[in-house]
């Protein structure tokens, strides 16, 4: 077996994305870790995130970038060789895209994750590995008893969803993430890799280029600020718990620091009951904060959409002491401040016209 790496060497798949760039920024600011970003740069806005991280990195020797795809097993294996910790945020993230192309969804989410796990196993270094899964592995939760109260649905049991909730892999996206989720968990049992799975609710914060399919809180805010109407699928009273990405990165650090307890565990991670809001309530908060009215139309609900999902994160709190600190209103203000800073930096060009198109070809080169 190879000797463990004596310093923190963090490999972040999807490191130029929303969650990944916030985590890399935290590592650059708060640790002395060497960071390797592995990203295909196919998502809108990631080029700007990458430039932000390069500006933030005062020691050029600490940050390495490989432009590559997790479906390339050979490239993944080379990237993993010297990592002491691995974070897999690379994913196809939209239910709608998974329905349009289930095969690509599977190859990215399930096969890509298996490539990373196999590379970690073969490295002989037993690196810590964290995988971000989704609450969609629990299906539409149609059995949960709800009542309508004003602008939101409420659960009769007043409880969030914990890890004992049976899996119900609804939609190709749920299947691909659920399969990856279980592979990560099983590689801890079968091969003694210290892995952790986060089944996450709605994450929001700065560096998020939200759209209709992913990042809905940011999408709602930008739509209001740019006077663009949006579509709500359902009646708008469906409830989600929203977690600030700033709180999420602290959860990453907590589980890594206490790996003796967290290795092999699955955790539900989200804002919890205190940070649960309906879509209509978020619209009201945005109006209160910005003074901007958000114009929207209602359409039929999409298959698999949950009317009510709130996280019970007690297991993570009990194991690590972690709890979210940032409220939904504070989080929206943080996103708005980031949006305003970017507007100044880019001469007040609307976000929708600043975003780069996806790359048509992915070069297999490190920069």
Please tell me the distance from the alpha carbon of residue 160 to that of residue 170, in angstroms, as a whole number: 19
**Other C-beta atoms within 10 Å of 115: how many?**
23
In the numeric block, which tokens belong to residue 176?
Answer: 């691909």
- What backbone phi and psi angles, to 5 degrees, belong to 13? -75, 130
d(CA 232, CA 253): 35
Measuring CA to CA, which residue among 132, 119, 254 is closest to residue 193? 119
Token pair for 125:
């270094």
Tell me if 69 sits within 8 A of 78, measured CB to CB: no
Closest CA to 38 of 363, 366, 358: 366
The catalytic residue positions are 173
Cα(213)–Cα(220) distance, integer angstroms: 12
**Dihedral pair phi/psi, residue 10, rounded to 5°:** -100, 120
């Amino acid at each position: 077996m190879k000797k463990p790496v004596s310093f923190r060497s963090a490999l972040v798949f999807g490191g130029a994305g929303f969650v990944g760039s916030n985590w890399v920024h935290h590592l650059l600011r708060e640790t002395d870790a060497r960071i390797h970003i592995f990203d295909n740069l196919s998502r809108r806005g990631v080029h700007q995130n990458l430039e932000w991280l390069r500006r933030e990195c005062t020691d050029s020797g600490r940050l390495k970038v490989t432009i590559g795809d997790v479906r390339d097993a050979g490239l993944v294996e080379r990237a993993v060789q010297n990592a002491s910790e691995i974070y897999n945020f690379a994913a196809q993230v939209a239910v709608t895209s998974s329905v349009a192309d289930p095969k690509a969804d599977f190859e990215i989410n399930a096969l890509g994750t298996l490539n990373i796990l196999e590379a970690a196993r073969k490295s002989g270094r037993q690196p810590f590995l964290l995988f971000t899964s989704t609450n969609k592995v629990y299906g539409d939760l149609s059995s949960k008893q709800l009542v309508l109260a004003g602008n939101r649905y409420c659960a009769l049991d007043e409880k969030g969803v914990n890890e004992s909730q049976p899996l119900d892999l609804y939609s190709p996206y749920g299947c691909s993430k659920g399969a990856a989720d279980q592979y990560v968990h099983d590689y801890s049992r079968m091969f003694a890799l210290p892995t952790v799975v986060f089944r996450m609710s709605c994450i929001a914060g700065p560096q998020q280029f939200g759209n209709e399919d992913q990042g809905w809180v940011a999408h709602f805010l930008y739509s209001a600020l740019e006077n663009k109407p949006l579509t709500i699928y359902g009646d708008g009273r469906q409830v989600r718990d929203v977690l600030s990405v700033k709180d999420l990165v602290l959860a990453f650090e907590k589980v890594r620091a206490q790996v003796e307890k967290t290795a092999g565990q699955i955790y539900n991670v989200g804002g919890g009951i205190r940070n649960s809001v309906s879509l209509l309530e978020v619209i009201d908060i945005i109006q209160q904060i910005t003074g901007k009215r958000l114009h929207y139309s209602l359409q039929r609900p999409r298959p698999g959409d949950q009317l009510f999902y709130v996280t019970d994160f007690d297991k993570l709190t009990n194991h690590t002491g972690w709890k979210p600190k940032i409220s939904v209103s504070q989080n929206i203000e943080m996103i708005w401040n980031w949006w305003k800073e970017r507007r100044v930096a880019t001469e007040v060009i609307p976000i929708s016209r600043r975003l780069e198109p996806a790359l048509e070809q992915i070069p297999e080169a490190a920069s």
